[in-house]
Each structure stands twice: as C-alpha cells, then as structure tokens.
Structure 1
Amino acid sequence: MKNKFFYMILAVLYGQLSFAQTPKLFLINADQLKAKKEAYQQKDKAIKPLVDQVVHKADAFLAAKPKSVMDKSSTPPSGSKHDYMSQAPYFWPDPSKADGMPYIRKDGERNPAIRKITDAVFLHGLTEQCQFLALAYYFTGQEKYALKASELLNVWFIAPETKMNPNLNYAQAIPGLNDGRGIGIIESRSLVELADWMGILANAKSITASQTEGIKTWYKQYLDWMLNSKNGKDEHRSKNNHGTIYDTQIVSYALFTDQKELAKKTITASLERIAIQLTPEGEQPLELARTKAYSYSTMNLNDGWFNLALLGTHAGVDVWNYQTSDGRSIHKALDWLIPYGMGEKEKDRKQIIPYNTSELYRLLTLAGTAYKNASYFKQAEALPKDKDTQLIELLYKP
C-alpha cells in the first residue's frame, strides 16, 4: 500500500514537472511564454483576458470533426485523394473561349471557385485549431485540449486511410494550362507555425512519442520533396515573397526535424535575396508592383524575413542586423513600410483590398524586442486592437 502511494506521488510530481518544462519553440520565445503562464496562474489582470480568449476559442474546437485531404470532392491527376490539390487563386475563365480554357490571370482578384477544392482551407484550419488547442493546454494544463489536437493531427498526418501524402505536386493548378505549380508551395507555410504548436504539445500525455516521430517523419519527407522535386526547385528560384517564404519553410522544417546544419546553410543563402528584393531605402519593388502592394510588402516581412530572423536565432545566423554593403536590410524595409501601414503617408501604389494593420502589429512588436527600441511598441499600441492583435500580444510581446 505504501509503495502504491509512493508511486502515485511520483506520477503526480512527474506530471507537474512535465507541465512546467519550457517547450522547444522556434518562432515564439519559450521563456517569455513560460513567464506569461506563471502570470496567468497568478491571475495577472493583463494576461488573464488574453488567455481567456484563447481558451474560449479552444473550447469551440473540442467538438470539431477532423478534416483531411480525403474530404475533397475532386480527385488529383494522380488518382489518389491523399495528394493535396488546389487551384490558382488569381486565375479566371477566359470569357472569349466557350469553355473558358485556358484560364487567364487577374492579379489580386481571388476566384471564389477555388474554395470548391477544400485542401487549402482544411490545412489552414488544422493549424488554427492546433494553435488554440495547444495554447489552451499549455496555460491551463487540461489534457482535453491536447487530446483533441492529437486526434486532428493523427487524421492529417498519421492515419493510413486519411493522411496527406507529403507533396504539393498539384497545388495552385491553372485549368487548361497545368496540373500544379511550384508557386503552390506557399500554401503550406502554416506548417511553420504548426511546428511550434507541436513543441507546446510535446509533453502532453495525449501526444505519444510514436505520434511525434510519425509527424516528424512526415515533415522530413515533405522537406525532401521541397528540396528535390521540380515544383520545389521552381519555387526556390522565385525572386519575390515566394522565394523568401520557401526558404522560411525549409529552415523551419529542418530545425523541427533536428537538421540544424541544413537550416544554417539555407538561411545563410537566403541573405543573398536581400540585395534582390530590397532597395537601400527599404522599398520592396517586386511586392510594390503587385495589385496589393502594401499587403504583399507586409507579408514578405511577416511570413518571410521576420520569421527567418526568428528561426535564425536557433540556426546561428543573425538576420535581424544583417545589411548589404549598400545598406539594404529588413530593418530599413520595416521603417519604410510603417508610415504607409499606419496611414501617416498616403498609399501611392495599388492596394485593391483594405490593408490589415494587425499584420503590421506583429512586425512592430517583434521589432521592439529585436532592436530594443520602445518606439516600435508605442507605434503598435497606436494601431486598432482586435482578437488578432491580442493573440500577437500574448505570443510575442515581452
């Protein structure tokens, strides 16, 4: 009886220790997140409403039915629904042709018909669900959130009958022209964030070691496909945000699968893109030439360069402070963008959709920390607040 009680105490202590461990994260500062968890446990008035919002969202996902690539109504040219597929968002039927083929490009104008193929929506949904479930588990310690995340992850990555094949051969196809393009690889960029949610869930009882290894194996296979496939090589050659975000994915997946040298090699080579993408003044000509000039400039920094900089701290490469011999840098790119994003300067380039200031909020918050400059935090505070900015504050603000 005494032995049984002793082992029960050990199990409780082990569980508490496991829950208290600092998670292995790449985009988020794990020590900062741990400090916020401790503040939440002390019912800190600033942190509690931020976490409560996360928990409320996670609660809504507890009843969510797992989605998979098998749920789409279309079948890829391979004949297997296990292969991801999507349609190019900015291509529309040619009105001069009876069958509309081949589709023609309207930059920045999304064809609503793309949503008939559900893989992109479901992959994004998986990442969002796992984000809130992982964070709710981390802050509350309630296993139900990890259990649900485990179910969702198993359906997408592990279960033989539903798992996605680790390729994007048929992403962003153009009807009448091709079955898929390298450009479509940008649709998997949410997997960069998912690696962090996996890190947060790593100590949960519901996430088994074999499941974690199974997902890491999937990531390794997908990384190999990105590096060696025709589509992957095509995307690597992209000069604009597609090239930056491709590199971000390679670095993230390499770090997640314990391939640090590959991550370091890739991120070092990525720095050569700065001379191509940025001017000495901080403009991004390749993004500014688009129909959503300021949105694309923000995305290239957010999903590309700033994520690369965060990953670089783990790969041993300083992206934050890198600059070319003629002064091109991501720091200057942010400073150029700020007055346009905040409405202090009139947007004189094409911007056919409303500008999303919450994306600028993340850039300013990260810059405040990276450059130890409180003025960035003050600028962030001047922006409109919403649920997105509250989540960014929880994840990234010191």
Structure 2
Amino acid sequence: MLTHPSPDPTGPRVAPPRAQRLRAVILLAAVAVGVLGGCELRRVPDGAWRLRGLATRPRSTPASAAATPPRVYALDAEGLARAKRRIASGDARLQPAYDRLVREAGAALQVPPASVMDKRRIPPSGDKHDYVSMGPYWWPNPATRGGLPYVRRDGERNPEIRNDYDAPRLAAMTGAVTTLALAYYFTDDETYARRAALLLRTWFLDPATRMNPHLRYGQGIPGITQGRAAGIIETRGLVGVVDAIGMLERSPSWTTADDRGMAGWLSAYLGWLRSSVIGKQERSAHNNHGTWYDAQVAALALFIGDTALARSTLEGAKTRRIAAQITTDGRQPYELARTRSLAYSVMNLEGLCRLADLARHVGVDLWSYRSPRGGSIRKALDYLAPYADPRRKWPGRQITPTEPDLLVLPLEQARLLYGDPRYDALLRRIPQDAVRSHRAQLLYPEQDSVPVASRTGS
C-alpha cells in the first residue's frame, strides 16, 4: 500500500455516522435560517455539496472515487486522474514521483507570499505595481566609465538580475503554485490549496499588492531601454498557473470571487499581449520567445473561454513555429546558434509540446503535423533524444552544465503518445532515480491496459 505523507501529522479524522447525520442536519438548518453569512453552498465535481468559506481539515490520502479529471489545458486531465487512481490503489511505480512531489510541496508551503510591492526599486512609471526585470545576459560595459550602456554576453547570467527585480519572485511564486496545486489534486489536502490560493491572491488580486497586467518594463537593459519584448518569456509560468487554478476548483480555499478575479487579470494581460507594441514584437520572434508567446496566448484564451483566439493561434503555430523553426532532420537553428544550445533546444521543444497539448482542446493536431520541408515536433525530439544518454556528447555549444533529467519530460510524453520503444530505451540510459522520481511519471502515466513488464523492460 502506498504511503501518503501529509503536512498534518495528526491525519484526517472521520466522524461516526451519527455525528455525520447530525452535522448534515445542522448544515441544512443553517442554510435555511441564513446564518452562514459570507459562505457559499456549492456543488463540486464529485457530486457532493461544499460550503465555501468554512474551514476544512486536511485530507492526507486521495480517494479513488474523487479522481475526477481536473479542468486543465496544457496538462493531460485524463492522465492526472489515472495517476491519482493508481496512487490510491497502491501502484508502487508511482511512489518515488509521489514522494518527491509531496516533499517539494512541503518546501513550497514555506515560500512567502510575494508581490511586486516587495521591491525597493521604483519602476520608470513611478508605480511599484508595475513589474520590473533586467535582461539576464547583459553586463556592465568594460570600455566605458560607469559601465553604460550594458553589453550582451549570451548565456552568462549577470547576478544583478536577482538584485531587487521582480523576475525571481515571479518564478518562485508560479513554481510554488503549480507544485502546491498538483499536490492538492493528488492528496486532497487542503493545506496545499490554502497556500496556493494565498500566493495567487497576493500576486494577482489583492489591491494593495497586485501586479499591473503588463510587462512594459520587463528585461530592461541599463543604458539602452527600460523594457523590451524579451521580457514576456518571464511570464511563461502563467501556462502552469492556468492549470493550477483548474486543480484548485474543488477547494473551499479557492472562491468564485478568486476565479473571477483571475479571469479578469488574465484577460487584461492577454489583451496587453496582443495589442501592445512589445507584445506584437514578441509574437514576431522566431525562436523560443515566439513559441512561448503563443503558448501563453492560447492558454489564457482557453481559460477565459475565447476558443476562437486559441484555435487561430494554435493553427498558426503550424507555420509560424513548427515550419519556421524545425528543419527536415529535426534541428532548431535559432536555438543551436545560442551558447547554451542544448538547453535552449529543449526549452523550445517543451514550448512546442505545450502548444500541441493546448491544441487538442480546439481540434488542432500539432503532434502529427509535418511541415512541407518535413519538420515536426517529433523530428525535433528525435534529433535531441540520443543526448539523453549521458555518454553521448552534445556537438553544439553548451557553456553551462545540464541536469541528467533534462529530456525526461518530453521523452515520457512521446513514449506515451507514439508508443515507440526507442524512447523507453533512451529513458533507461538516464540515471533511474532521476526518471522514477520525475514529475512526468504523474503527468503522463501508462495507459491502464499497459502491463508492468513493458514499462520496466523486464
């Protein structure tokens, strides 16, 4: 039987049947006389009724009956539900990934609620609600007094980017929210949902701390510009936030007002992405920036219900992203030109995979699309896949080390989608601790009909 770690060491307590009946009578009576001011009686997906606004005890173990597919767009809803059922039934293959997720969620519980107001730096507008960041690869000019204008050193991160700019806090917040929401989905432990909701409200919704929905001052360059299109890559975590909100829907900690507030903020940001000069410039980018721009537009459009915009964006990705960026043999020339060419090739591939996942919601097939020159997402993966083997040396420039699990996520997804045993063989060449504990095991679990032997290679 799988173990289910929980932030609540006491574990859940189940009331006896008589107490449960009494609680139901009290609840109905309270609704009838209107003493539940501020609470909302809401039907949740499992058919039960829940009062939003009332505290609930955390649950440490997911119930298989509650493994309802969540409202997600970039993730695989059926795959998540399948993984949740397997965890509840004791599938030991998922235990390492589950344990790691719970550990990471425990760490995410300690992430302080951050906001754009935390910085001491004053944006060019004078409004601290505006997001400000600096281009990561720009350094003081050694040839000038005062170091201005800054000069570019591709792939070399200037530690100044962490000096009172908003980008590190945004990345920490979106990472924590996606981890907490996923942990909540798998454990039904309200502790995780409560914290995720607090982080989201603080960054996006609270009038005192909310970020204005634009990136006019993203990735500025000292001595050159206050902000530029490249900064939009820093909000790619919103693709995960959209799915996190869907996983929080059943939680009493996430209210209808929260949902409406996020829809309003994301709608405003989407409008800015599409109408601003900076947004239009990023849309025209030919590399990973353009890919992740499309992913953000499509994810936000799906969240607010603009399926026409999502469909046109994703249909356009065939020519703007896949055909323009992937050669016949699967190379990504715009990424290969970088000093961290392997890392950027994988980053762009992951963006293309997210586009393909989003596209399934509007009837567009990017997974099997092949450009007139023969380029495709699968070709891009197949070009990179051999370098999942740590014994293979990457032929391009890669001036920083890469993690051994760099290709686990796209390989696990491709293995499930295409059923090609080559991907299994490549996954076995990666250190197995890194593979078994990877979150991809929970996001893309085996189909229920697949026997254990076919996955383990035994």
Distance 1:378 1:96 in 2: 52
Deviations 1:291-327 (A, max 9, x none): 111111111101x211111111112110011112221
Distance 1:256 1:196 in 2: 9
User: CA 1:186/1:254 → structure 2, altered by over 3 Å: closer, same or farther?
Assistant: same
CA contact (8 A) 1:192 1:253 kept: yes
Aligned-pair CA distance for 1:387: 8.2
Map of 1:112 onto structure 2: 159
Deviations 1:26-74 (A, max 9, x none): 1221122112212222333222332232223223333432110110121
The code of the aligned residue for 1:283 comes to R
Using the TM superposition, name which of 40-49 and 178-187 deviates more.
40-49
Map of 1:149 onto structure 2: 196
Backbone CA RMSD of aligned residues: 2.3
Map of 1:287 onto structure 2: 335
Distance 1:311 1:146 in 2: 24
Structure index of larger Rg: 2
Are 2:144 and 1:100 aligned? Answer: no
SS of the residue 1:355 aligns to:
coil
Question: How do 1:267-278 residues align onto structure 2 when only pairs under 5 Å count?
Answer: 267-273=314-320, 274-278=322-326
Map of 1:395 onto structure 2: 443
User: CA 1:347/1:20 → structure 2, altered by over 3 Å: closer, same or farther?
Assistant: closer
Distance 2:436 2:230 in 1: 27
Distance 1:168 1:71 in 2: 17
The code of the aligned residue for 1:194 comes to V
Map of 1:221 onto structure 2: 268
Unpaired stretches in structure 2, ≥5 consecutive residues: 1-17, 29-40, 51-62, 447-458
User: Which of 371, 376, 379 is residue 426 of structure 2 equivalent to?
Assistant: 379
Deviations 1:365-386 (A, max 9, x none): 1111222223213312321243
Distance 1:225 1:285 in 2: 30
Map of 1:125 onto structure 2: 172
User: CA 1:251/1:99 → structure 2, altered by over 3 Å: closer, same or farther?
Assistant: same
SS of the residue 1:386 aligns to:
helix
CA contact (8 A) 1:169 1:180 kept: yes
Using the TM superposition, name which of 105-114 and 31-40 deviates more.
31-40
Are 2:98 and 1:78 aligned? Answer: no
Distance 2:142 2:378 in 1: 45
What is the TM-score normalised by the length of structure 1? 0.93
The code of the aligned residue for 1:292 comes to R
CA contact (8 A) 1:236 1:246 kept: yes
CA contact (8 A) 1:294 1:341 kept: no
User: CA 1:387/1:56 → structure 2, altered by over 3 Å: closer, same or farther?
Assistant: farther
**Identity over the aligned pairs, expressed in percent?**
41
Map of 1:369 onto structure 2: 416
CA contact (8 A) 1:220 1:253 kept: yes
User: CA 1:223/1:17 → structure 2, altered by over 3 Å: closer, same or farther?
Assistant: farther
CA contact (8 A) 1:241 1:300 kept: yes
Map of 2:49 onto structure 1: 14
Question: How do 1:177-326 residues align onto structure 2 when only pairs under 5 Å count?
Answer: 177-273=224-320, 274-302=322-350, 304-326=351-373
CA contact (8 A) 2:341 2:397 kept: yes
CA contact (8 A) 1:19 1:203 kept: no
Aligned-pair CA distance for 1:344: 5.7
Q: Which protein has the bigger helix share?
A: 1
Distance 1:59 1:389 in 2: 16
CA contact (8 A) 1:295 1:356 kept: no
Aligned-pair CA distance for 1:279: 1.2
Distance 1:388 1:358 in 2: 10
Deviations 1:326-358 (A, max 9, x none): 211111111111223434643222110113342
Aligned-pair CA distance for 1:389: 5.3
In the alignment of these two chains, the number of paired residues is: 397
User: CA 1:344/1:207 → structure 2, altered by over 3 Å: closer, same or farther?
Assistant: same
Are 2:92 and 1:49 aligned? Answer: no
The code of the aligned residue for 1:220 comes to S
User: CA 1:258/1:381 → structure 2, altered by over 3 Å: closer, same or farther?
Assistant: farther
Aligned-pair CA distance for 1:17: 11
The code of the aligned residue for 2:326 comes to L
Unpaired stretches in structure 1, ≥5 consecutive residues: none
Distance 1:311 1:241 in 2: 17
Aligned-pair CA distance for 1:190: 0.7
User: CA 1:347/1:132 → structure 2, altered by over 3 Å: closer, same or farther?
Assistant: closer
CA contact (8 A) 2:388 2:427 kept: no
Are 2:183 and 1:136 aligned? Answer: yes
